[in-house]
């Protein structure tokens, strides 16, 4: 069907366990321990089961190449499709990754769904090492209700990302949606309705992880912008954010009247988007230099 939503998969690392490291902000009498690394890389090559049509199967070599739909490594070699070592990495952020089988993420979806490293891969070879597994997005209602309050709070944050418009549809906070998709390691979904669905599914299944991730992300960048302003790294000329030294413009924040907090919030929202990532990196570097000067 034309309007059918593309399939989505939420993955979780299989070896999550207490690392001994305490999560920032939870030090004290009730510490929370990290159960995985901040970032874990998975090899983009492996094997999957291929049905030979005569009741037997063979191990087929597969490879993920960014933006390519074909994962059959032999076909890739025949077509001279070169692996992109830097960009074709598969990353789990804080133990999770979500992939929508849509447009340029079709190959990524097919790879993680079928590779033997996935505990739930179809007809996987039992002797293969398990690196990750699928999280059931269709949990029974009674399981969800066990943490109903957390789910409600998480979904409340998700639905702030859209507003109904006069045409009967929705207007989306596209920058923030892209930011949340980035911090939650959600791949695919060019349509913002689809991205909201991916984010809400993550929030339903892992509400505590969702709230922790977006709260930390939102507060850290806002704090950095406020500190950069305080140390004179950046300034606002009316609604234009710029570096004080050299007057290089970071972002024009629009024509509406804003107070200082609104300016900080608006710039923070931009810096948290993929488009603002380069500016955020530059501001952080300048902020570190300014901090060092204050210590001398």
Chain segment 171-224, per-residue pLDDT in tens = 998 888 888 898 899 998 878 988 999 999 999 888 888 998 888 887 888 889
Range of the domain at 56: 1-135
**186-187/96-100 β-pairing:** parallel
| Mean of pLDDT over the chain | 85
| Tokens read off for 123 | 């007809």
Lowest mean pLDDT across 52-66, 139-153, 169-183, 243-257: 139-153
Question: Measured between alpha carbons, how far is 120 from 203 in angstroms, rounded to an integer?
Answer: 22
pLDDT of 271 strictly over 80: yes
Using an 8 Å Cβ cutoff, are 95 and 35 in contact?
A: yes
Residues 129 and 222 in one domain: no
166 domain residue, yes or no: no
Boundary residue ending a domain (135, 158, 185): 135
pLDDT score recorded for residue 294: 76
For residues 253-267, average pLDDT: 87
Is residue 204, in this structure, part of any structural domain at all?
Answer: no
Strands 39-42 and 90-93: antiparallel
Tell whether the model's pLDDT for residue 30 goes beyond 60: no
pTM of the model: 0.70
Q: Which of 108, 135, 162 is the last residue of a domain?
A: 135
CB count in 10 Å sphere of residue 55 = 6
Residues 15 and 104 in one domain: yes
Q: Which of 101, 116, 135 is the last residue of a domain?
A: 135
Q: Which residue has the higher pLDDT, 88 or 203?
A: 203
Confidence of residue 52 (pLDDT cuts 50, 70, 90): confident
The answer on 115 and 12 residing in a single domain is yes
**Per-residue confidence band for 17, with pLDDT thresholds at 50, 70 and 90:** low
Domains of the chain: total: 2
The answer to whether residues 13 and 104 belong to one domain is: yes
114 shares its domain with 14 = yes
Q: How large is the average pLDDT for residues 130-155?
A: 78
């Amino acid at each position: 069907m034309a309007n059918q939503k593309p399939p989505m998969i939420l993955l979780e690392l299989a070896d999550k366990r207490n690392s001994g490291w305490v999560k920032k902000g939870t030090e004290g009498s009730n510490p929370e321990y990290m159960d995985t690394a901040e970032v874990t890389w998975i090899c983009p090559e492996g094997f999957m089961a291929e049905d030979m049509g005569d009741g037997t199967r063979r191990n087929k070599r597969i490879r993920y190449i960014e933006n390519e739909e074909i994962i059959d490594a032999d076909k890739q070699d025949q077509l001279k499709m070169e692996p992109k070592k830097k960009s074709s990495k598969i990353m789990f952020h804080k133990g999770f990754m979500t992939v929508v089988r849509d447009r340029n993420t079709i190959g990524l979806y097919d790879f993680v769904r079928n590779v033997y490293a996935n505990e739930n891969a179809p007809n996987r070879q039992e002797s293969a090492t398990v690196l990750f597994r699928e999280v059931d997005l269709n949990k029974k209602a009674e399981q969800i209700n066990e943490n109903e309050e957390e789910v409600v709070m998480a979904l409340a944050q998700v639905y702030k990302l859209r507003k109904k418009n006069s045409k009967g549809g929705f207007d989306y906070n596209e920058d923030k949606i892209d930011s949340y998709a980035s911090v939650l390691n959600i791949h695919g979904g060019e349509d913002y309705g689809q991205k909201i669905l991916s984010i809400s599914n993550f929030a339903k299944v892992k509400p505590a992880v969702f709230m922790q991730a977006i709260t930390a992300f939102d507060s850290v960048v806002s704090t950095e912008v406020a500190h950069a302003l305080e140390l004179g790294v950046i300034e606002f000329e009316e609604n234009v954010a710029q570096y004080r030294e050299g007057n290089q413009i970071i972002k024009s924040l629009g024509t509406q009247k804003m107070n200082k907090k609104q300016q900080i919030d608006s710039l923070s929202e931009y810096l948290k988007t993929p488009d603002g990532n380069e500016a955020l990196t530059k501001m952080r570097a300048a902020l570190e230099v300014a901090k060092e000067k204050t210590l001398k």
